[in-house]
């Protein structure tokens, strides 16, 4: 695992990526936080889920290491705090946030355990973190494997499996870890890994996707 340079490859990110209403709703529900609670979005990218959760009545701060992505996020929502930083060294005080989310990002972190330690540090005692990710086992059954087996096999190697993520959460100090499975729905609006297999016209003709995941679940 390690950081992908989205300052380099992030151009056009929002052509296929947007906050999916169903996933936004599940993340919001799993947080179980009152209106106005302060939530950190780690690896926020262009802020799609940050903005969507803000619209649900939460107070959001987004952090990301890519200036290009943050610039796009600021252009879409100036009222949200957008902060440059990496998961492994979050630029916030201890016990600062009421909750945290990390959507489709942990496989990009250079050190997932350290990133989760930092998340634990900046969260108030007992605060939840919701992680949306995928596993290599799921990806090996994904439809793109039929067309691009070698590329997908390489993509699988960067994804942490569920046991690895659970171990990192436990090491970081999180407890009460639970999983909620998710299968890609036909109406998915966030086209990670070019999910629109039933409507090829929605898939850009710009080459092989940069997104190495479909959704596995939420870990709390």
Dist CA 136 CA 10 (whole Å): 24
- Predicted confidence pLDDT, tens digits, the chain (220 residues): 444 555 444 455 555 567 788 889 999 999 999 999 999 999 999 999 999 999 999 999 999 999 999 999 999 998 899 999 999 999 999 999 999 999 989 988 999 999 999 999 999 999 999 999 877 677 666 666 667 777 777 776 678 888 899 999 999 999 999 998 877 766 776 666 555 555 555 444 433 333 322 233 333 3
Domain range annotation of the chain: 6-219
Q: Which helix (H) or strand (E) holds 217?
A: strand 217-219
Task: Give the pLDDT confidence score for residue 128 in this predicted structure.
Answer: 97
| The pLDDT value given to residue 138 | 72
pLDDT of residue 220: 38
- What was the pLDDT predicted at 106? 93
Architecture of the domain whose range is 6-219: 3-Layer(aba) Sandwich (3.40)
39: phi then psi, degrees, rounded to nearest 5? -120, 135
């Amino acid at each position: 695992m390690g950081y992908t340079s989205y300052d380099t490859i992030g151009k056009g990110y929002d052509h296929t990526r947007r906050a999916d209403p169903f996933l936004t709703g599940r993340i919001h529900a799993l947080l179980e936080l009152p209106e106005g609670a302060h939530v950190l979005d780690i690896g926020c990218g262009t802020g799609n889920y940050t903005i969507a959760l803000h619209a649900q009545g939460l107070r959001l701060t987004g952090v990301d290491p890519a200036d290009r992505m943050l610039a796009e996020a600021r252009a879409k929502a100036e009222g949200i705090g957008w902060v440059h930083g990496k998961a492994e060294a979050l630029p916030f005080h201890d016990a600062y946030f009421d909750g945290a989310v990390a959507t489709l990002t942990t496989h990009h972190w250079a050190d997932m355990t350290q990133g989760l330690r930092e998340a634990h540090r900046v969260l108030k005692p007992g605060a939840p973190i919701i992680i949306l990710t995928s596993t290599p086992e799921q990806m090996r059954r994904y439809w793109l494997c039929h067309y691009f087996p070698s590329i997908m096999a390489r993509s699988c190697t960067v994804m942490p499996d569920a046991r690895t993520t659970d171990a990192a959460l436990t090491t970081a100090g999180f407890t009460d870890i639970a999983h909620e499975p998710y299968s890609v729905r036909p109406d998915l609006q966030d086209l990670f890994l070019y999910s629109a297999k039933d409507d090829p016209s929605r898939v850009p003709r710009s080459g092989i996707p940069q997104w190495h995941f479909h959704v596995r679940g939420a870990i709390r």
